[in-house]
């Protein structure tokens, strides 16, 4: 019984052996949540940059078309006034009045190009007014007044004059400069977003690689730690087993000693009983012989 009591005293049944959430598990979950959060932000930034790049590419194509549109609209206005002076037909004057002035038409096109961004549209219109002045509209209205007064030759001379040609060149030069500046702004925006896109992709790849590498390192650490814990547990179990074996062995030896001691006592008792019995028989036989 003393061996059992000793074993119970040496056994550890404290509450520290209760299962708990390991430090490794908490760190792994925190790492995963942090990586997911950062990847979500980078993915959103990547999508935003991609959307801006696509929109900017479309605007670049449209802004290049604005220059061609302005030239076409300019020639159409001038040709309408010229046809009114040459043919002396009032229908051409009516058709001219139905057309928008140059700046108004170009402004509508710019607002259409930047329809997704009001601020860009306002800045572009302000830039258009800086580079382009529609002085041709005033000259064409003067020619129409001459036509209405039946002064067709004067109107034709005005439209073919050097001053009118210089105004047309100034208009086309202003449009070209405006489109060039607008294209530069859009290209800078596109390049900036492309750079952000490349950086975001690189960051995503680095984070994914780092997360996977860290995950593998932590998994290897967990495996080694689990192996160490299992080894220590086996060693502790073997120690307890040896202690139990020693105690059981001690208990068996005591029991054998007890049995041997009881057997010796019984044997001694039998030996004593046998010697006393023989002595008594000898005495009886000698007494009987004496009586005879």
Please report where in the chains the tokens 């760190």 appear, as a residue: 27
pLDDT for the residue numbered 90: 82
CB neighbour list of residue 38: distance below 8 Å, 6 or more residues apart = 207
Please report where in the chains the tokens 């925006």 appear, as a residue: 189
* Rounded Cα–Cα distance for residues 94 and 96 (Å): 5
Pick from 219, 236, 237, 213: which is nearest to 22 by CA?
Answer: 219
pLDDT for the residue numbered 79: 92
Cα torsion through 218, 222, 224, 230, rounded to 10: 180
Per residue of the chain (292 residues), what is the pLDDT tens digit? 444 444 444 444 444 444 444 555 566 677 778 878 888 888 888 888 888 888 888 888 888 888 888 889 888 988 999 998 888 888 888 898 888 888 888 888 888 887 777 777 777 777 777 767 778 888 888 888 888 888 888 888 888 888 888 888 888 888 888 888 888 888 888 888 888 888 888 888 888 888 888 778 877 887 888 888 878 877 876 776 677 667 656 655 556 566 557 666 766 666 666 555 555 555 545 545 554 5
pLDDT for the residue numbered 115: 75
Q: Give the C-alpha distances (Å, rounded to integers) separating 139 from 136, 145, 159, 235.
A: 5, 10, 8, 106
CB neighbour list of residue 190: distance below 8 Å, 6 or more residues apart = 52, 53, 56, 57, 60
Q: What would the two tokens of residue 176 be?
A: 């070209």
pLDDT for the residue numbered 107: 84
The total number of residues written for the chain in this structure: 292
* Rounded Cα–Cα distance for residues 262 and 252 (Å): 15
pLDDT for the residue numbered 185: 84
* Rounded Cα–Cα distance for residues 283 and 288 (Å): 9
pTM, two decimals, is 0.57
Q: What would the two tokens of residue 274 be?
A: 């046998």
- Domain residue limits, the chain: 23-224
Helix axes 23-87, 90-98, angle to 10 degrees: 160
* Rounded Cα–Cα distance for residues 51 and 116 (Å): 12
């Amino acid at each position: 019984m003393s061996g059992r009591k000793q074993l119970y005293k040496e056994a550890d049944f404290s509450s520290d052996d209760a299962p708990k959430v390991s430090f490794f598990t908490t760190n792994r979950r925190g790492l995963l949540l942090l990586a997911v959060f950062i990847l979500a932000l980078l993915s959103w930034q990547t999508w935003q940059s991609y959307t801006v790049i696509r929109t900017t590419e479309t605007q670049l194509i449209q802004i290049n078309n604005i220059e061609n549109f302005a030239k076409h609209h300019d020639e159409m206005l001038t040709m309408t006034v010229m046809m009114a002076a040459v043919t002396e037909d009032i229908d051409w004057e009516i058709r001219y009045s139905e057309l928008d002035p140059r700046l108004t038409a170009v402004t509508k096109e710019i607002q259409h190009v930047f329809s997704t961004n009001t601020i860009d549209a306002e800045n572009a219109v302000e830039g258009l007014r800086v580079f382009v002045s529609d002085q041709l509209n005033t000259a064409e209205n003067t020619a129409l007044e001459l036509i209405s007064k039946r002064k067709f030759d004067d109107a034709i001379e005005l439209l073919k004059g050097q001053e009118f040609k210089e105004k047309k060149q100034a208009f086309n030069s202003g449009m070209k400069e405006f489109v060039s500046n607008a294209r530069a702004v859009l290209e800078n925006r596109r390049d900036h977003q492309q750079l952000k896109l490349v950086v975001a992709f690189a960051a995503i790849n680095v984070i994914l690689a780092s997360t996977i590498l860290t995950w593998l390192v932590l998994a290897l650490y967990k495996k080694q730690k689990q192996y160490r814990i299992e080894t220590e547990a086996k060693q502790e179990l073997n120690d307890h087993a040896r202690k139990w074996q020693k105690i059981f062995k001690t208990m068996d030896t005591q029991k054998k000693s007890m049995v041997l001691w009881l057997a010796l006592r019984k044997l001694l008792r039998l030996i004593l009983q046998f010697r006393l019995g023989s002595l008594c028989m000898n005495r009886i036989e000698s007494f009987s012989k004496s009586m005879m």
